Copies of this chain bind each other. A is one copy, B any other.
Amino acid sequence: MDLDVRRLRVLHEVALRGGVTAAAAALHVTPSAVSQQLGQLAREAGHPLVERSGRGVVLTTAGQILALHAERILGAVEQAVTGLAVAHRQVAGTVRVGAFPSAAGALVVPAAARAMAAHPGLDVRVVEAEDDQSRLDLRSATLDIVVLQEYDHVPGTTTAELDRYPIATDPMHLITPVGWGRDSGRLADLADVPWVASAAHTPCGRSTLRACHLAGFEPDIRHRAIDFALTLDMVAAGLGAALVPGMALRHVPPRVLVRPLAKPVTGRRIFAVTRPRGAGPTHPAIAAVLTELAGPDLDPAQTSRPESLELLSADR
């Protein structure tokens, strides 16, 4: 009774993704193959691992237990290959980094380029995805490093069980169309203007709302944008003011004014995480990428945004 790693990975994916089809997609096989492997594993385990629920499946108790152990086993396997890489001091192989959109371009891409330049055998791949998706792909070993964000004053998703490597803090900046109001550096001065914000369910959207509440007013949010480039375009078109993280200000379009705030109102912390039971920073290749991510970019305002940010110096 040997519980093949391949099969255990199938169960792990089913547990993570919540279904046979989703697991099959993640494993790049057909659902039929996943179903068969699951059946075989159940036979070996002596108990059914999943049972149908509606048109999907849910794990039985035995399935949950085995999925838990599967994660431990997969982690042990990963540590084994890591041990080999450590012993041979080879900073090589493929490291897949997931990041949310604004960090991907501003932080991860330059870090990846530096890491690959420094280590010829290293292949860093950047995957742009939302935090929830990245977290899932990290656990399923589709990604090796994930760059996440955590907004101040927003409860947000906890990532307690993961090892965190802080990369940067990214304060929110106030932007308005040029020629709006006076420049006192106080958010409350813009209590009566229209606003542009991210979608209400996003942490950034909630962050804007919280900041305005803390400043003592309810913002009149007229437009919702997910991509910060769209936010900037909206502001440039005079549709409203907005609070955006500094990292989104690498390319500020004309007719957008970045206004100094008297003191930072709110912001977000950016950090990288690795697989909890997996190789983590032990692996030389992952360590090299983490170093590039955390090291030179500790202040993203100084390094990642070449121009157009002189106005921000007052904020810090």
What is A's interface to B at a CB cutoff of 8 Å?
A: 1-6, 8-9, 45-47, 61-62, 65-66, 68-70, 72-73, 76-77, 79-81, 83-84, 87-88
A81: chain B residues at CB < 8 Å are 1, 3, 45
21 examples of A-B residue contacts, CB within 8 angstroms: A2-B5, A3-B5, A3-B81, A4-B5, A4-B6, A8-B80, A47-B84, A62-B84, A65-B83, A65-B87, A66-B83, A68-B83, A69-B76, A69-B79, A69-B80, A70-B80, A72-B76, A73-B73, A73-B76, A73-B77, A73-B80
A69: chain B residues at CB < 8 Å are 76, 79-80, 83
How many monomers of this protein are in the complex? Answer: 2
A1 to B84 Cα, complex, angstroms: 13
A84 to B43 Cα, complex, angstroms: 13
Q: Pick the contact of A45: B1, B3, B8, B84 (CB < 8 A).
A: B84
A46 to B88 Cα, complex, angstroms: 10
Of the candidates A2, A45, A68, A87, the one having the most CB atoms from chain B within 10 angstroms of its own CB is A2
Assuming the A-B contacts A47-B88, A73-B73, A88-B47, are A3 and B62 also in contact, with contact meaning beta carbons closer than 8 angstroms in the complex? no
A241 to B64 Cα, complex, angstroms: 63
A73: chain B residues at CB < 8 Å are 73, 76-77, 80
A1 to B82 Cα, complex, angstroms: 12
A6: chain B residues at CB < 8 Å are 2, 4
Minimum-distance CB pairs A-B, first 6 = A69-B80, A73-B76, A76-B76, A65-B83, A3-B77, A65-B87
Of the candidates A5, A61, A87, the one having the most CB atoms from chain B within 10 angstroms of its own CB is A5
A5: chain B residues at CB < 8 Å are 2-5
A4 to B2 Cα, complex, angstroms: 10
A84: chain B residues at CB < 8 Å are 45-47, 62, 65-66
Closest to A92 in B: B46
User: Least Cβ distance of A13 to chain B in Å?
Assistant: 13
Of the candidates A62, A70, A77, the one having the most CB atoms from chain B within 10 angstroms of its own CB is A77
User: Least Cβ distance of A190 to chain B in Å?
Assistant: 54
A83: chain B residues at CB < 8 Å are 65-66, 68-69
A66 to B104 Cα, complex, angstroms: 35
